[in-house]
Structure 1
Protein backbone atom coordinates (compact mmCIF):
# COMPACT_ATOMS: atom_id res chain seq x y z
CA UNK A 1 0.00 0.00 0.00
CA UNK A 2 1.33 3.44 -0.92
CA UNK A 3 1.69 5.74 2.08
CA UNK A 4 3.93 8.50 0.66
CA UNK A 5 4.22 10.13 -2.75
CA UNK A 6 7.44 12.04 -3.52
CA UNK A 7 7.95 14.23 -6.57
CA UNK A 8 10.95 15.89 -8.14
CA UNK A 9 10.52 19.54 -9.14
CA UNK A 10 12.31 20.80 -12.29
CA UNK A 11 11.13 18.96 -15.38
CA UNK A 12 8.63 16.96 -13.34
CA UNK A 13 6.22 18.99 -11.23
CA UNK A 14 7.70 22.30 -12.39
CA UNK A 15 7.41 22.99 -16.10
CA UNK A 16 9.36 25.68 -17.97
CA UNK A 17 8.96 29.05 -16.28
CA UNK A 18 8.14 27.46 -12.88
CA UNK A 19 4.66 26.57 -14.07
CA UNK A 20 2.69 23.90 -12.21
CA UNK A 21 -0.21 22.43 -14.16
CA UNK A 22 -3.62 22.81 -12.57
CA UNK A 23 -4.23 19.09 -13.03
CA UNK A 24 -1.12 18.30 -11.02
CA UNK A 25 -2.14 20.71 -8.27
CA UNK A 26 -5.56 19.09 -7.97
CA UNK A 27 -4.07 15.59 -7.94
CA UNK A 28 -1.64 16.48 -5.14
CA UNK A 29 -4.42 18.05 -3.09
CA UNK A 30 -6.41 14.81 -3.40
CA UNK A 31 -3.62 12.62 -2.00
CA UNK A 32 -4.71 13.16 1.59
CA UNK A 33 -8.17 11.78 0.78
CA UNK A 34 -6.45 8.50 0.02
CA UNK A 35 -4.34 8.73 3.19
CA UNK A 36 -1.19 9.26 1.16
CA UNK A 37 1.40 11.67 2.55
CA UNK A 38 3.25 14.10 0.27
CA UNK A 39 6.95 14.94 -0.16
CA UNK A 40 9.11 16.94 -2.54
CA UNK A 41 12.61 15.66 -3.36
CA UNK A 42 14.73 18.06 -5.37
CA UNK A 43 18.18 19.48 -6.03
CA UNK A 44 16.82 22.89 -5.06
CA UNK A 45 17.14 24.53 -1.64
CA UNK A 46 14.58 24.04 1.12
CA UNK A 47 13.48 27.67 0.79
CA UNK A 48 12.42 26.97 -2.81
CA UNK A 49 10.33 24.00 -1.74
CA UNK A 50 8.51 26.21 0.74
CA UNK A 51 7.60 28.59 -2.09
CA UNK A 52 6.23 25.65 -4.09
CA UNK A 53 4.17 24.57 -1.09
CA UNK A 54 2.60 28.03 -0.94
CA UNK A 55 1.56 27.73 -4.56
CA UNK A 56 0.22 24.22 -4.05
CA UNK A 57 -1.54 25.29 -0.84
CA UNK A 58 -0.23 22.04 0.48
CA UNK A 59 2.47 21.30 3.09
CA UNK A 60 5.15 18.78 2.14
CA UNK A 61 7.95 16.80 3.68
CA UNK A 62 11.10 18.26 2.11
CA UNK A 63 14.19 16.51 0.75
CA UNK A 64 16.40 19.29 -0.59
CA UNK A 65 19.74 19.53 -2.40
CA UNK A 66 19.53 15.90 -3.57
CA UNK A 67 19.09 14.60 -0.03
CA UNK A 68 21.57 16.82 1.80
CA UNK A 69 18.79 18.15 4.04
CA UNK A 70 15.54 16.49 5.09
CA UNK A 71 12.72 18.24 6.95
CA UNK A 72 9.20 17.17 7.81
CA UNK A 73 6.13 19.13 6.74
CA UNK A 74 6.27 20.69 10.22
CA UNK A 75 9.85 21.88 9.47
CA UNK A 76 11.44 19.45 11.90
CA UNK A 77 15.00 18.75 10.70
CA UNK A 78 15.63 15.00 10.68
CA UNK A 79 18.78 14.77 8.53
CA UNK A 80 21.58 16.95 7.21
CA UNK A 81 25.06 16.39 5.82
CA UNK A 82 27.54 18.98 4.59
CA UNK A 83 31.17 18.75 3.45
CA UNK A 84 33.75 18.94 6.24
CA UNK A 85 36.36 21.71 6.11
CA UNK A 86 39.19 19.73 4.50
CA UNK A 87 36.99 18.30 1.75
CA UNK A 88 35.36 21.68 1.14
CA UNK A 89 38.75 23.27 0.57
CA UNK A 90 40.03 20.43 -1.64
CA UNK A 91 36.91 20.32 -3.82
CA UNK A 92 36.77 24.12 -4.00
CA UNK A 93 40.35 24.27 -5.28
CA UNK A 94 39.63 21.55 -7.84
CA UNK A 95 36.35 22.90 -9.27
CA UNK A 96 37.52 26.52 -9.43
CA UNK A 97 40.33 25.36 -11.73
CA UNK A 98 37.73 24.61 -14.42
CA UNK A 99 36.51 27.43 -16.61
CA UNK A 100 32.88 26.51 -15.98
CA UNK A 101 30.48 28.72 -14.09
CA UNK A 102 30.34 27.34 -10.54
CA UNK A 103 27.61 27.51 -7.92
CA UNK A 104 28.24 26.66 -4.26
CA UNK A 105 25.25 26.03 -2.02
CA UNK A 106 24.89 26.24 1.74
CA UNK A 107 21.79 25.42 3.73
CA UNK A 108 20.08 28.66 2.75
CA UNK A 109 22.10 30.42 0.03
CA UNK A 110 23.55 29.89 -3.46
CA UNK A 111 26.84 31.59 -4.34
CA UNK A 112 27.95 31.84 -7.97
CA UNK A 113 31.34 32.47 -9.51
CA UNK A 114 29.96 34.78 -12.20
CA UNK A 115 26.48 35.91 -13.16
CA UNK A 116 26.71 35.47 -16.93
CA UNK A 117 23.91 36.30 -19.37
CA UNK A 118 22.85 32.66 -19.22
CA UNK A 119 22.71 32.76 -15.44
CA UNK A 120 20.79 36.05 -15.50
CA UNK A 121 18.18 34.34 -17.65
CA UNK A 122 18.11 31.39 -15.24
CA UNK A 123 17.83 33.72 -12.25
CA UNK A 124 14.51 34.95 -13.64
CA UNK A 125 13.07 31.54 -12.85
CA UNK A 126 14.58 31.24 -9.37
CA UNK A 127 12.61 32.20 -6.30
CA UNK A 128 15.59 33.93 -4.71
CA UNK A 129 18.56 35.85 -6.18
CA UNK A 130 22.01 34.32 -6.56
CA UNK A 131 24.91 35.80 -4.60
CA UNK A 132 27.89 36.61 -6.82
CA UNK A 133 31.33 35.73 -5.45
CA UNK A 134 32.88 32.48 -4.20
CA UNK A 135 36.14 33.86 -2.79
CA UNK A 136 35.54 32.46 0.68
CA UNK A 137 37.80 29.42 0.89
CA UNK A 138 39.12 30.58 4.28
CA UNK A 139 35.56 30.76 5.65
CA UNK A 140 34.81 27.04 5.35
CA UNK A 141 33.80 25.69 8.73
CA UNK A 142 33.17 29.22 10.00
CA UNK A 143 30.56 31.22 8.10
CA UNK A 144 30.39 28.86 5.10
CA UNK A 145 29.30 25.21 5.29
CA UNK A 146 29.15 23.83 1.75
CA UNK A 147 26.36 21.40 0.98
CA UNK A 148 26.53 21.26 -2.82
CA UNK A 149 28.81 22.33 -5.68
CA UNK A 150 27.28 22.69 -9.14
CA UNK A 151 29.14 23.13 -12.41
CA UNK A 152 27.41 24.50 -15.51
CA UNK A 153 28.38 23.38 -19.02
CA UNK A 154 27.73 21.04 -21.92
CA UNK A 155 26.75 17.48 -21.02
CA UNK A 156 29.76 15.84 -22.71
CA UNK A 157 32.14 18.23 -20.96
CA UNK A 158 30.45 17.70 -17.60
CA UNK A 159 30.64 13.91 -17.82
CA UNK A 160 34.40 14.23 -18.37
CA UNK A 161 34.72 16.50 -15.34
CA UNK A 162 32.54 14.10 -13.35
CA UNK A 163 34.97 11.26 -14.05
CA UNK A 164 37.97 13.37 -12.99
CA UNK A 165 36.27 14.36 -9.75
CA UNK A 166 35.19 10.80 -9.02
CA UNK A 167 38.72 9.53 -9.57
CA UNK A 168 40.10 12.07 -7.07
CA UNK A 169 37.30 12.21 -4.49
CA UNK A 170 35.64 8.79 -4.86
CA UNK A 171 35.08 8.30 -1.12
CA UNK A 172 34.31 11.96 -0.36
CA UNK A 173 31.50 12.88 -2.74
CA UNK A 174 28.61 11.79 -4.93
CA UNK A 175 27.85 13.44 -8.28
CA UNK A 176 24.74 13.57 -10.44
CA UNK A 177 23.67 15.21 -13.66
CA UNK A 178 20.54 16.95 -12.37
CA UNK A 179 20.12 18.47 -15.85
CA UNK A 180 22.09 17.99 -19.09
CA UNK A 181 23.88 21.28 -18.29
CA UNK A 182 24.26 20.87 -14.52
CA UNK A 183 26.65 18.62 -12.58
CA UNK A 184 25.78 18.41 -8.88
CA UNK A 185 28.44 17.41 -6.34
CA UNK A 186 27.23 16.47 -2.86
CA UNK A 187 28.78 14.77 0.20
CA UNK A 188 29.47 11.04 0.04
CA UNK A 189 26.38 8.95 0.74
CA UNK A 190 23.93 11.72 -0.12
CA UNK A 191 21.11 11.02 -2.57
CA UNK A 192 17.39 11.56 -2.85
CA UNK A 193 16.97 7.88 -1.98
CA UNK A 194 18.91 8.20 1.28
CA UNK A 195 16.96 11.33 2.13
CA UNK A 196 13.68 9.53 1.54
CA UNK A 197 14.87 6.54 3.58
CA UNK A 198 15.59 8.88 6.49
CA UNK A 199 12.10 10.34 6.09
CA UNK A 200 10.57 6.86 5.86
CA UNK A 201 12.27 5.81 9.09
CA UNK A 202 10.95 8.94 10.80
CA UNK A 203 7.42 8.28 9.50
CA UNK A 204 7.73 4.57 10.34
CA UNK A 205 6.99 3.39 6.82
CA UNK A 206 8.88 1.11 4.45
CA UNK A 207 10.62 2.23 1.22
CA UNK A 208 8.28 0.00 -0.78
CA UNK A 209 5.37 2.04 0.62
CA UNK A 210 6.72 5.12 -1.19
CA UNK A 211 5.94 6.13 -4.77
CA UNK A 212 8.36 8.48 -6.53
CA UNK A 213 8.50 10.44 -9.77
CA UNK A 214 11.34 12.27 -11.53
CA UNK A 215 13.00 13.00 -14.85
CA UNK A 216 16.78 13.19 -14.39
CA UNK A 217 19.84 11.13 -13.49
CA UNK A 218 19.76 12.36 -9.89
CA UNK A 219 16.34 10.70 -9.58
CA UNK A 220 17.65 7.21 -10.39
CA UNK A 221 18.66 6.39 -6.77
CA UNK A 222 15.08 6.91 -5.61
CA UNK A 223 13.78 4.86 -8.58
CA UNK A 224 15.97 2.02 -7.34
CA UNK A 225 14.71 2.17 -3.74
CA UNK A 226 11.06 1.35 -4.51
CA UNK A 227 9.11 -0.66 -7.09
CA UNK A 228 6.66 2.25 -7.30
CA UNK A 229 8.79 4.52 -9.49
CA UNK A 230 7.64 6.77 -12.31
CA UNK A 231 9.80 8.52 -14.90
CA UNK A 232 8.56 11.41 -16.99
CA UNK A 233 8.18 10.67 -20.70
CA UNK A 234 10.44 13.69 -21.30
CA UNK A 235 13.29 12.05 -19.35
CA UNK A 236 16.38 10.64 -21.10
CA UNK A 237 15.95 7.02 -22.18
CA UNK A 238 18.55 5.86 -19.66
CA UNK A 239 16.51 7.44 -16.86
CA UNK A 240 13.22 6.00 -18.10
CA UNK A 241 14.74 2.52 -18.13
CA UNK A 242 15.40 2.73 -14.38
CA UNK A 243 11.75 3.41 -13.50
CA UNK A 244 8.89 0.94 -13.28
CA UNK A 245 6.51 3.18 -15.21
CA UNK A 246 6.70 6.10 -17.64
CA UNK A 247 4.07 8.85 -17.51
CA UNK A 248 3.49 12.24 -19.09
CA UNK A 249 2.46 14.13 -15.96
CA UNK A 250 2.51 13.97 -12.17
CA UNK A 251 -1.29 13.67 -12.12
CA UNK A 252 -1.05 10.51 -14.25
CA UNK A 253 1.27 8.88 -11.71
CA UNK A 254 -1.00 9.92 -8.83
CA UNK A 255 -4.01 8.46 -10.62
CA UNK A 256 -2.21 5.14 -10.93
CA UNK A 257 -1.21 4.97 -7.27
CA UNK A 258 -4.60 6.09 -5.97
CA UNK A 259 -6.22 3.37 -8.07
CA UNK A 260 -3.90 0.87 -6.39
CA UNK A 261 -5.04 2.17 -2.99
CA UNK A 262 -8.70 1.82 -4.01
CA UNK A 263 -8.10 -1.74 -5.11
Structure 2
Protein backbone atom coordinates (compact mmCIF):
# COMPACT_ATOMS: atom_id res chain seq x y z
CA UNK A 1 0.00 0.00 0.00
CA UNK A 2 1.36 3.43 -0.98
CA UNK A 3 2.14 5.68 2.00
CA UNK A 4 4.34 8.32 0.32
CA UNK A 5 3.74 10.01 -3.04
CA UNK A 6 6.59 12.13 -4.39
CA UNK A 7 5.95 14.13 -7.54
CA UNK A 8 7.89 16.22 -10.00
CA UNK A 9 6.36 19.62 -10.77
CA UNK A 10 6.90 20.96 -14.29
CA UNK A 11 5.35 18.71 -16.89
CA UNK A 12 4.01 16.38 -14.21
CA UNK A 13 1.85 18.12 -11.62
CA UNK A 14 1.56 21.41 -13.51
CA UNK A 15 2.50 22.77 -16.95
CA UNK A 16 4.23 25.92 -15.65
CA UNK A 17 4.12 28.53 -12.89
CA UNK A 18 2.34 27.63 -9.66
CA UNK A 19 -1.27 27.01 -10.71
CA UNK A 20 -2.38 23.44 -9.99
CA UNK A 21 -5.58 22.15 -11.56
CA UNK A 22 -8.60 21.60 -9.29
CA UNK A 23 -8.55 17.91 -10.28
CA UNK A 24 -4.98 17.45 -9.06
CA UNK A 25 -5.63 19.37 -5.85
CA UNK A 26 -8.69 17.24 -5.14
CA UNK A 27 -6.76 14.01 -5.71
CA UNK A 28 -3.96 15.18 -3.40
CA UNK A 29 -6.49 16.15 -0.74
CA UNK A 30 -8.15 12.72 -0.88
CA UNK A 31 -4.76 11.00 -0.62
CA UNK A 32 -3.82 13.04 2.46
CA UNK A 33 -7.21 12.31 4.04
CA UNK A 34 -6.47 8.60 3.45
CA UNK A 35 -3.26 8.94 5.48
CA UNK A 36 -0.84 9.25 2.56
CA UNK A 37 2.03 11.77 2.64
CA UNK A 38 2.12 13.78 -0.59
CA UNK A 39 5.14 15.91 -1.40
CA UNK A 40 7.23 17.24 -4.27
CA UNK A 41 10.69 16.66 -5.72
CA UNK A 42 11.79 19.33 -8.15
CA UNK A 43 14.74 21.02 -9.76
CA UNK A 44 13.19 24.34 -8.75
CA UNK A 45 14.47 26.65 -6.06
CA UNK A 46 12.98 26.15 -2.62
CA UNK A 47 11.29 29.55 -2.73
CA UNK A 48 9.87 28.78 -6.20
CA UNK A 49 8.59 25.38 -5.07
CA UNK A 50 7.11 26.61 -1.79
CA UNK A 51 4.03 28.34 -3.30
CA UNK A 52 3.24 25.16 -5.23
CA UNK A 53 3.56 23.06 -2.08
CA UNK A 54 1.20 25.43 -0.29
CA UNK A 55 -1.29 25.40 -3.19
CA UNK A 56 -1.22 21.61 -3.13
CA UNK A 57 -1.74 21.57 0.62
CA UNK A 58 1.59 19.84 1.24
CA UNK A 59 2.81 19.93 4.84
CA UNK A 60 5.65 17.41 4.40
CA UNK A 61 9.32 18.24 3.70
CA UNK A 62 9.94 19.07 0.03
CA UNK A 63 12.88 17.99 -2.14
CA UNK A 64 14.26 20.91 -4.15
CA UNK A 65 17.23 21.70 -6.41
CA UNK A 66 17.07 18.13 -7.76
CA UNK A 67 17.74 16.68 -4.33
CA UNK A 68 20.40 19.11 -3.13
CA UNK A 69 18.07 20.62 -0.50
CA UNK A 70 15.32 19.03 1.59
CA UNK A 71 13.48 21.60 3.65
CA UNK A 72 10.17 21.71 5.48
CA UNK A 73 7.39 24.07 4.45
CA UNK A 74 8.08 26.01 7.64
CA UNK A 75 11.72 26.50 6.54
CA UNK A 76 13.72 23.92 8.53
CA UNK A 77 16.57 22.40 6.51
CA UNK A 78 16.76 18.61 6.87
CA UNK A 79 19.45 17.94 4.26
CA UNK A 80 21.73 20.01 2.02
CA UNK A 81 24.56 19.43 -0.46
CA UNK A 82 26.29 22.67 -1.42
CA UNK A 83 28.86 23.04 -4.19
CA UNK A 84 32.45 23.86 -3.23
CA UNK A 85 33.25 27.56 -3.90
CA UNK A 86 36.47 26.81 -5.83
CA UNK A 87 34.62 24.35 -8.07
CA UNK A 88 31.84 26.86 -8.69
CA UNK A 89 34.38 29.44 -9.83
CA UNK A 90 36.09 26.90 -12.08
CA UNK A 91 32.82 26.05 -13.83
CA UNK A 92 31.87 29.72 -14.17
CA UNK A 93 35.22 30.59 -15.74
CA UNK A 94 34.86 27.73 -18.22
CA UNK A 95 31.28 28.66 -19.15
CA UNK A 96 32.17 32.35 -19.48
CA UNK A 97 34.97 31.41 -21.90
CA UNK A 98 32.48 29.45 -24.01
CA UNK A 99 30.12 32.43 -24.19
CA UNK A 100 27.24 30.46 -22.65
CA UNK A 101 24.50 31.66 -20.34
CA UNK A 102 24.51 30.27 -16.79
CA UNK A 103 22.74 31.16 -13.56
CA UNK A 104 23.49 30.31 -9.96
CA UNK A 105 21.51 29.84 -6.76
CA UNK A 106 23.15 31.11 -3.59
CA UNK A 107 21.28 31.04 -0.27
CA UNK A 108 18.06 30.37 -2.23
CA UNK A 109 18.50 33.50 -4.36
CA UNK A 110 18.81 33.56 -8.14
CA UNK A 111 21.76 35.30 -9.84
CA UNK A 112 22.88 35.65 -13.47
CA UNK A 113 25.58 37.68 -15.28
CA UNK A 114 23.18 40.02 -17.06
CA UNK A 115 19.49 40.31 -17.78
CA UNK A 116 18.67 38.67 -21.12
CA UNK A 117 16.10 36.53 -22.92
CA UNK A 118 17.19 33.42 -20.95
CA UNK A 119 16.81 35.05 -17.54
CA UNK A 120 13.50 36.59 -18.61
CA UNK A 121 12.10 33.24 -19.74
CA UNK A 122 13.21 31.50 -16.57
CA UNK A 123 11.76 34.14 -14.28
CA UNK A 124 8.45 34.08 -16.17
CA UNK A 125 8.21 30.28 -16.05
CA UNK A 126 9.21 29.93 -12.39
CA UNK A 127 7.55 33.12 -11.10
CA UNK A 128 10.74 34.26 -9.34
CA UNK A 129 12.95 37.32 -9.65
CA UNK A 130 16.72 37.12 -9.96
CA UNK A 131 19.51 39.68 -9.94
CA UNK A 132 22.10 40.55 -12.60
CA UNK A 133 25.49 40.73 -10.86
CA UNK A 134 28.02 40.22 -13.67
CA UNK A 135 30.46 37.32 -13.99
CA UNK A 136 32.59 38.56 -11.11
CA UNK A 137 29.48 38.88 -8.97
CA UNK A 138 28.61 35.24 -9.65
CA UNK A 139 32.13 34.17 -8.66
CA UNK A 140 31.82 36.08 -5.40
CA UNK A 141 28.42 34.61 -4.44
CA UNK A 142 29.42 31.06 -3.57
CA UNK A 143 27.71 30.61 -0.20
CA UNK A 144 25.19 27.76 -0.01
CA UNK A 145 25.08 27.20 -3.77
CA UNK A 146 22.95 24.14 -4.49
CA UNK A 147 23.26 24.07 -8.28
CA UNK A 148 24.22 25.90 -11.46
CA UNK A 149 21.93 25.99 -14.49
CA UNK A 150 22.78 26.46 -18.17
CA UNK A 151 19.80 27.58 -20.24
CA UNK A 152 19.85 26.99 -24.01
CA UNK A 153 17.68 27.49 -27.08
CA UNK A 154 17.07 23.84 -27.97
CA UNK A 155 17.29 20.23 -26.87
CA UNK A 156 20.18 19.55 -29.25
CA UNK A 157 22.13 22.48 -27.84
CA UNK A 158 21.44 21.29 -24.29
CA UNK A 159 22.70 17.78 -25.10
CA UNK A 160 25.84 19.19 -26.73
CA UNK A 161 26.64 21.33 -23.68
CA UNK A 162 25.99 18.47 -21.28
CA UNK A 163 28.48 16.33 -23.23
CA UNK A 164 31.11 19.07 -23.05
CA UNK A 165 30.51 19.73 -19.36
CA UNK A 166 30.63 16.03 -18.51
CA UNK A 167 33.91 15.62 -20.36
CA UNK A 168 35.41 18.51 -18.39
CA UNK A 169 33.75 18.11 -14.97
CA UNK A 170 32.04 14.71 -14.99
CA UNK A 171 34.48 13.19 -12.52
CA UNK A 172 33.55 15.81 -9.92
CA UNK A 173 30.00 16.95 -10.74
CA UNK A 174 26.68 15.52 -11.91
CA UNK A 175 25.28 17.19 -15.03
CA UNK A 176 21.68 16.32 -15.95
CA UNK A 177 19.02 17.57 -18.34
CA UNK A 178 15.83 18.63 -16.55
CA UNK A 179 13.99 19.75 -19.68
CA UNK A 180 14.81 20.50 -23.31
CA UNK A 181 16.51 23.80 -22.47
CA UNK A 182 18.02 23.15 -19.02
CA UNK A 183 21.37 21.57 -18.15
CA UNK A 184 21.67 21.35 -14.37
CA UNK A 185 24.96 21.03 -12.46
CA UNK A 186 24.98 19.59 -8.93
CA UNK A 187 27.30 17.63 -6.65
CA UNK A 188 28.05 13.99 -7.39
CA UNK A 189 25.57 11.79 -5.55
CA UNK A 190 22.85 14.45 -5.56
CA UNK A 191 19.63 13.36 -7.25
CA UNK A 192 15.90 13.24 -6.70
CA UNK A 193 16.28 9.51 -6.09
CA UNK A 194 18.67 10.04 -3.20
CA UNK A 195 16.27 12.69 -1.92
CA UNK A 196 13.45 10.16 -1.97
CA UNK A 197 15.50 7.65 0.04
CA UNK A 198 16.45 10.27 2.62
CA UNK A 199 12.88 11.54 2.93
CA UNK A 200 11.37 8.04 3.23
CA UNK A 201 13.84 7.28 6.01
CA UNK A 202 12.94 10.51 7.81
CA UNK A 203 9.25 9.64 7.59
CA UNK A 204 9.65 5.97 8.52
CA UNK A 205 8.30 4.76 5.17
CA UNK A 206 9.76 1.79 3.28
CA UNK A 207 10.68 2.12 -0.40
CA UNK A 208 8.00 -0.38 -1.55
CA UNK A 209 5.44 1.97 0.04
CA UNK A 210 6.50 4.90 -2.17
CA UNK A 211 5.20 6.13 -5.53
CA UNK A 212 6.94 8.66 -7.76
CA UNK A 213 5.64 10.51 -10.81
CA UNK A 214 7.74 12.27 -13.45
CA UNK A 215 8.29 13.20 -17.08
CA UNK A 216 11.91 14.26 -17.64
CA UNK A 217 15.42 12.84 -17.51
CA UNK A 218 16.17 14.39 -14.13
CA UNK A 219 13.26 12.31 -12.77
CA UNK A 220 14.90 9.00 -13.76
CA UNK A 221 16.73 8.60 -10.46
CA UNK A 222 13.61 8.99 -8.34
CA UNK A 223 11.57 6.76 -10.63
CA UNK A 224 14.24 4.06 -10.35
CA UNK A 225 14.14 4.24 -6.54
CA UNK A 226 10.38 4.37 -6.00
CA UNK A 227 8.33 1.32 -5.20
CA UNK A 228 5.92 2.27 -8.00
CA UNK A 229 7.06 4.52 -10.84
CA UNK A 230 4.57 6.45 -12.97
CA UNK A 231 5.42 8.08 -16.30
CA UNK A 232 3.32 10.98 -17.51
CA UNK A 233 1.80 10.64 -20.98
CA UNK A 234 4.02 13.53 -22.08
CA UNK A 235 7.20 11.98 -20.61
CA UNK A 236 10.39 11.55 -22.63
CA UNK A 237 10.96 8.03 -24.04
CA UNK A 238 13.61 7.13 -21.43
CA UNK A 239 11.12 7.77 -18.62
CA UNK A 240 8.36 5.74 -20.27
CA UNK A 241 10.73 2.83 -20.84
CA UNK A 242 11.79 2.80 -17.19
CA UNK A 243 8.45 3.23 -15.44
CA UNK A 244 6.11 0.55 -14.17
CA UNK A 245 2.99 2.31 -15.49
CA UNK A 246 1.99 5.27 -17.64
CA UNK A 247 -0.79 7.78 -16.96
CA UNK A 248 -2.35 10.64 -18.92
CA UNK A 249 -0.49 13.79 -19.89
CA UNK A 250 0.06 16.74 -17.59
CA UNK A 251 -2.58 18.73 -19.47
CA UNK A 252 -5.05 15.84 -19.10
CA UNK A 253 -4.57 15.76 -15.31
CA UNK A 254 -2.74 12.45 -15.61
CA UNK A 255 -1.41 13.10 -12.11
CA UNK A 256 -4.87 12.88 -10.60
CA UNK A 257 -5.64 9.82 -12.71
CA UNK A 258 -2.57 8.05 -11.31
CA UNK A 259 -3.34 8.95 -7.69
CA UNK A 260 -6.93 7.74 -8.09
CA UNK A 261 -5.84 4.47 -9.70
CA UNK A 262 -2.75 3.50 -7.73
CA UNK A 263 -3.18 5.21 -4.35
CA UNK A 264 -6.88 5.61 -3.62
CA UNK A 265 -8.48 2.69 -5.45
CA UNK A 266 -9.30 -0.18 -3.10
CA UNK A 267 -8.36 1.79 0.00
What is the TM-score normalised by the length of structure 2? Answer: 0.90
> Which residue of the partner structure matches residue 250 of structure 1?
255
1:156 aligns with 2:156: yes
Return 215-224 or 164-173, whichever deviates more. 164-173
> Which residue of the partner structure matches residue 136 of structure 1?
137
> Which residue of the partner structure matches residue 126 of structure 2?
126
> Which residue of the partner structure matches residue 223 of structure 1?
223
Alpha-carbon offset, residue 69 of structure 1: 0.2
> Which residue of the partner structure matches residue 147 of structure 1?
146
Question: 1:41-92 CA deviation, whole Å, 9 max, x = no partner?
Answer: 0000111222112322342321000000012355432210011122112112
Question: 1:201-247 CA deviation, whole Å, 9 max, x = no partner?
Answer: 11122222110101110000011112401111111112211111111
Cα distance change on mapping 1:121 and 1:174 into 2, 3 Å: closer
Cα distance change on mapping 1:78 and 1:18 into 2, 3 Å: closer
> Which residue of the partner structure matches residue 67 of structure 1?
67
Cα distance change on mapping 1:149 and 1:261 into 2, 3 Å: farther
Question: 1:114-138 CA deviation, whole Å, 9 max, x = no partner?
Answer: 3223532442333321211242355
Cα distance change on mapping 1:124 and 1:85 into 2, 3 Å: closer
What is the TM-score normalised by the length of structure 1? Answer: 0.91
Return 9-18 or 224-233, whichever deviates more. 9-18
> Which residue of the partner structure matches residue 179 of structure 1?
179
> Which residue of the partner structure matches residue 114 of structure 2?
114
> Which residue of the partner structure matches residue 165 of structure 2?
165
1:11 aligns with 2:11: yes
> Which residue of the partner structure matches residue 21 of structure 2?
21
RMSD of the alignment, in Å?
A: 1.9
Cα distance change on mapping 1:137 and 1:129 into 2, 3 Å: closer
Aligned ranges 1:79-98 → 2 under 5 Å:
79-98=79-98
Alpha-carbon offset, residue 96 of structure 1: 2.1
1:33 aligns with 2:33: yes
Cα distance change on mapping 1:108 and 1:16 into 2, 3 Å: closer
